[in-house]
Amino acid sequence: MKDAKKGDELWFHFSGHGVLQRDTNGDEESGQDSCICPVDFEKSGFIIDDDLRRLLVIPDGVKLYVILDCCHSGTGCDLRYKIEDQSYYNKSGRPLKYDSNDWTLKQTMYQFKNHSKSNGDIYMISGCQDSQTSADAVEEGQSQGALTYCLLKTLKNNFGNCKWKVLLKDLRCLLKIKGYTQIPVLTSGKQINTDDNIFVTEKSIDNLLDKLISRGLIM
């Protein structure tokens, strides 16, 4: 992160286990810290959200996209603003496929005043709310996190366009259609306009998807 310069776009993706532990510095409204479990956690311990926030500091003019596909990850980077999606299916019966016209958009924003705003632009998509678990899944013959699968599927299929409000809505709806109960959360270090495009350039998402496809992470 220290070598990042204005105009850079960075990605941090964690798929694994997440837990909650008691907050010891009083910055959490829930009284609990979200933690990720590195492979050596039995020796070195968990990485708490306070530490993630300190480690992911970036300068002004840099964009950082964080994906935490793990349990109890809703506020996993201690960012200032949280946006939750409560979009709902406006037809009868259970939805079997995604049609944006069948879902009514409903999203709410909340501000954590105990968490400072970030210098650069940090955006984090979680696998679930702090109180929830994130499912392991087998999709298209591959073992993967449900959030990771649905996020990449949403980006690849580009349900609508790459605005924040559309991505969050489509991601939530796809998870529901696939039968997952977890609710992804978008948090940010600065207040964002959900009508804004997610990526700086049109090539950003194409480059990301090309890399993931070449590594066999998505089909």
Positive or negative, the CA dihedral 23, 27, 29, 33 is negative
Question: Structure tokens of 57?
Answer: 């500091």
Is 71 one of the annotated active-site residues of the chain? yes
| Contact call for residues 180 and 146 (beta carbons, < 8 A) | yes
Give yes or no: 17 in active site: yes
Query: Are 53 and 140 in contact, with CB atoms under 8 Å apart?
Result: no
Where does residue 91 rank: exposed (0-12), middle (13-18), buried (19+ CB within 10 A)?
A: exposed
Strand, helix or coil for residue 168: helix
Adjacency order of strands within the sheet including 107-111: 9-15, 63-69, 121-126, 185-188, 81-85, 107-111
Closest of 48, 83, 51, 68 to residue 165, by C-alpha: 83
**In sequence order, which ranges of 83-178 are alpha helices (DSSP H)?**
146-157, 164-177
State both tokens at 131: 């109180």
Structure token pair of residue 64: 């950082």
**Candidate list 71, 77, 150, 173, residue with the active-site label:** 71
Residues labelled catalytic: 17, 71
